[in-house]
């Protein structure tokens, strides 16, 4: 039997499997549509399976059961290597899965006074040891690899040491321009870029410095960003490795505004561009993610209900998802569908968005979710309730992107589910398909959904409530403006301004120029008379063909403005970009006059 359930046919697409790890050991089952157990997988009944992992390209699957590390070849599900390291508790593959890295707690005792290496690098294909190191801390223990595995870097004594071609007996390069607390090697192909975080001393700023391999002198830095207040730094690379986001966090917000601490988001690029990402709502930054497809990134931020915003490479807000109780971002592998969700202390609401068309596909709820992961096919995703975060109601569910629940697997109360993971595949195994807004047929959840009722005090229950929470924005607002108004407040302001503009238009028919606008782009004074727009009969063409082209282009814009002004005078509510067009009328008329002189 083929592990992908395709009977060995090269024509049929593989069916990603789902691996589960818990108190009953490790199992493997098919994903949609069969969900059957993979009988050829050598299931492990150990109650001590501390970790499991698929390699990035899906060639290998590995787990540790408290006795040995077992490596399986996914094409056959046969064990190809067993490594006797019972204390290993963390594992990671290199970029292509050629090497397996393991970490176990560092121990020095009277019986074993020597510093025994606890970080090991093994060959995945046979389990042979390549190199071992002493790495006392578990945080950021993993050696980092370039996408092509050409270079590998490690943080040793606040210096970054770099090796080439998996030859670990010789350090090829070393970054030691300052005390380095964290580093990150870019995704994407060569040239490789390395971002280093250098914490500042008391009263001095910290720095994020971007280097291009192998130019690591202080004078060769590509981009530098300085900042204060950083107890922790997280690095997010775009897919091509040319831009990075650096989120700084403090454990405590000294202003007392938030018990989350305080976060800021900084942007650096290999072109030397740097910026601080300006967010339009106060509060913590809950999640950051780059689109796998587009040159844009998504941020969820602010006190609840949190905002979700898309930014371009200029760190400009290009789309606002509205405010909602959410704290998580999940792009599917193709980057065409985005999940915004609220888990943890939130109720488990899930929004699925069509990224290209900026439209909401569906909404659903997955209460008590501790883990969410997209299938490599980009059409299905899995949610799970796992221990030790939650010990009651363990289990996992598989969903379609249209919001339909397809499958659920609850755990017995006596058992614990610790982890669920989709099988991985090489890039481009699954083609991106057109998005359908029609929900596929699904099943009803066995557990009750969270209540959708807004909390009401006892004194208000049974009464008709007419107010709306000011931050409860509609999902999917128009492209974002500079305004910090809530959606409801902005809508009311637009109506008032349009009504006012109509009255002033009637009272000022002879006026031909627009006055200034407010900061959010709304007209706050008189509007030029629509009849003043120049028509085609007024235009005098010249003997210069190039000038005539420009004249025709301006005439077309003036005709559009005339129609917009007629719509405004009839009471229609215009968009911000339409009002901006009207503002340019006087400028266009002057440009036309200059051309026809």
Three-state SS sequence of 168-224: CCCCCEEECCCCCCEEEECCCCCCCEEEEEECCCCCCCEEEEEEECCECCHHHCCEE
Q: Quote the CA–CA distance of 438 and 448 in Å, as a whole number.
A: 24
- Mean per-residue pLDDT, 504-533: 38
- Mean per-residue pLDDT, 3-22: 69
Find tokens 């490594």 and name the residue: 83
With cut-offs at 50, 70 and 90, classify the pLDDT of residue 285.
very high
With cut-offs at 50, 70 and 90, classify the pLDDT of residue 497.
low
Q: pLDDT tens for residues 35-90? A: 989 999 998 999 999 999 999 999 999 999 989 999 999 999 999 999 999 999 89
Residue 272 has pLDDT above 60, yes or no: yes
Collapse the DSSP code of 487 into the 3-class scheme (helix H, G, I; strand E, B; otherwise coil) and give the result.
Answer: helix
Predicted local distance difference test score (pLDDT) of residue 574: 72
Can you read off the two tokens belonging to residue 134? 């002493």
Find tokens 């969900």 and name the residue: 35
Q: Quote the CA–CA distance of 63 and 41 in Å, as a whole number.
A: 13
Residue 395 has pLDDT above 60, yes or no: yes
Predicted local distance difference test score (pLDDT) of residue 496: 61
With cut-offs at 50, 70 and 90, classify the pLDDT of residue 121.
very high
Give the best-scoring range by mean pLDDT among 94-98, 498-502, 558-562.
Answer: 94-98
Lowest mean pLDDT segment, chosen from 4-8, 388-392, 473-477? 4-8
Q: pLDDT tens for residues 125-142? A: 999 999 999 888 888 899
Q: Is the pTM of this model over 0.75?
A: no
With cut-offs at 50, 70 and 90, classify the pLDDT of residue 467.
very low
Of 244 and 504, the structure prediction assigns the larger pLDDT to 244
Q: Quote the CA–CA distance of 359 and 378 in Å, as a whole number.
A: 17
- Mean per-residue pLDDT, 100-111: 84
- Mean per-residue pLDDT, 452-467: 39
What share of the chain has pLDDT > 70, as a percent?
79
Q: In what order do the strands lie in the sheet with 328-331?
A: 328-331, 337-341, 349-354, 359-365
Q: What is the secondary structure of 545-564 as a DSSP string?
A: HHHHHHHHHHHHHHHHHHHH
Residue 212: other Cβ atoms inside 10 A: 16
- Extended strands (E) in 411-557: 417-422
Residue 425 has pLDDT above 90, yes or no: yes
Q: Quote the CA–CA distance of 282 and 311 in Å, as a whole number.
A: 17
Residue 147 has pLDDT above 50, yes or no: yes
Collapse the DSSP code of 538 into the 3-class scheme (helix H, G, I; strand E, B; otherwise coil) and give the result.
Answer: helix
Residue 453: partners with Cβ closer than 8 Å, 6 or more residues away: none
The mean pLDDT of the chain is 81
Predicted local distance difference test score (pLDDT) of residue 223: 93
Q: pLDDT tens for residues 362-384? A: 999 999 999 999 999 999 999 99
Of 245 and 107, the structure prediction assigns the larger pLDDT to 245
Residue 2 has pLDDT above 60, yes or no: no
Residue 339 has pLDDT above 70, yes or no: yes
Tell me the C-alpha to C-alpha distance, in Å, between residue 346 and each of 141, 349, 369: 31, 8, 10
Q: Quote the CA–CA distance of 97 and 274 in Å, as a whole number.
A: 33
Lowest mean pLDDT segment, chosen from 279-288, 290-299, 413-422, 508-517? 508-517
Predicted local distance difference test score (pLDDT) of residue 9: 40
What share of the chain has pLDDT > 90, as a percent?
50
With cut-offs at 50, 70 and 90, classify the pLDDT of residue 460.
very low
- Mean per-residue pLDDT, 313-327: 93
Predicted local distance difference test score (pLDDT) of residue 526: 33
Predicted local distance difference test score (pLDDT) of residue 461: 38
């Amino acid at each position: 039997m083929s592990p992908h359930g395709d009977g060995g046919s090269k024509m049929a697409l593989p069916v990603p499997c789902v691996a589960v790890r818990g108190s009953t050991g490790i199992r493997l089952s098919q994903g949609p549509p069969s969900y059957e157990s993979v009988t050829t997988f050598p299931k492990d009944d150990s109650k001590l399976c501390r970790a499991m992992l698929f390699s990035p390209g899906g060639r290998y699957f590995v787990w540790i059961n408290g006795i040995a590390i077992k490596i399986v070849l996914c094409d056959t599900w046969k064990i190809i290597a067993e490594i006797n390291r019972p204390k290993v508790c963390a594992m990671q593959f290199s970029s292509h899965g050629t090497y397996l890295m393991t970490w176990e707690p560092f121990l020095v005792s009277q019986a074993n006074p020597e510093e025994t290496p606890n970080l090991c690098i093994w060959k995945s294909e046979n389990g042979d040891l390549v190199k071992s190191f002493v790495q006392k801390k578990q945080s950021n223990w993993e050696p980092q690899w370039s996408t092509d595995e050409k270079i590998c870097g490690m943080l040793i004594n606040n210096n970054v040491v770099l090796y080439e071609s998996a030859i670990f007996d010789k350090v090829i390069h070393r970054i030691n321009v300052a005390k380095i607390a964290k580093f990150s090697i870019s995704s994407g192909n060569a040239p490789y870029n390395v971002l280093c975080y250098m914490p500042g001393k008391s009263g001095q700023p910290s720095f994020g410095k971007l280097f291009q391999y192998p130019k690591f002198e202080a004078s060769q830095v590509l981009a530098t960003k300085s900042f204060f207040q950083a107890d922790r730094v997280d690095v997010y690379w775009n897919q091509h490795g040319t831009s990075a986001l650096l989120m700084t966090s403090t454990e405590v917000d000294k202003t007392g505004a938030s018990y989350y601490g305080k976060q800021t988001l900084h942007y650096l690029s290999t072109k030397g561009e740097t910026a601080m990402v300006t967010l339009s709502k106060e509060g913590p930054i809950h999640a950051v993610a780059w689109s796998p497809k587009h040159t844009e990134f998504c941020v969820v931020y602010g006190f609840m209900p949190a905002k979700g915003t898309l930014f371009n490479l200029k760190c400009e807000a290009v789309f606002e998802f509205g405010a909602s109780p959410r704290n998580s971002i999940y792009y599917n592998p193709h980057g065409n569908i985005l999940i915004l969700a609220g888990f943890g202390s939130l109720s488990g609401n899930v929004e699925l968005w069509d990224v290209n068309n900026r439209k909401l596909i569906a909404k659903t709820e997955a209460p008590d979710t501790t883990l969410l992961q997209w299938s490599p096919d980009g059409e299905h995703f899995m949610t799970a309730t796992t221990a030790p975060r939650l010990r009651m109601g363990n289990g996992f569910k598989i969903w379609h992107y249209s919001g339909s629940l397809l499958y659920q697997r609850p755990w017995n109360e006596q058992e614990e589910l610790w982890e669920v993971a989709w099988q991985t595949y090489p890039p481009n195994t699954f083609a991106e398909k057109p998005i359908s807004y029609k929900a596929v047929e699904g099943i009803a959840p066995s557990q009750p959904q969270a209540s959708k009722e807004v909390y009401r005090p006892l004194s208000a229950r049974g009464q008709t409530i007419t107010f709306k929470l000011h931050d409860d924005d509609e999902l999917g607002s128009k492209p974002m403006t500079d305004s910090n108004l809530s959606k409801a407040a902005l809508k009311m302001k637009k109506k008032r301004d349009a009504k006012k503009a109509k009255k002033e238009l009637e009272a000022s028919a002879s006026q031909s120029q627009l006055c200034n606008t407010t900061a959010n782009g709304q007209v706050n004074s008189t509007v030029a008379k629509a009849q003043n727009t120049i028509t085609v009969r007024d235009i005098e063409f010249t003997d210069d063909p190039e000038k005539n082209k420009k004249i025709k282009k301006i005439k077309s814009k003036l005709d559009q403005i005339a129609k917009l002004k007629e719509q405004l005078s009839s009471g229609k509510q215009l968009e911000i970009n339409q009002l901006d067009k009207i503002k340019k009328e006087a400028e266009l008329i002057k440009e036309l006059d200059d051309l026809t002189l």
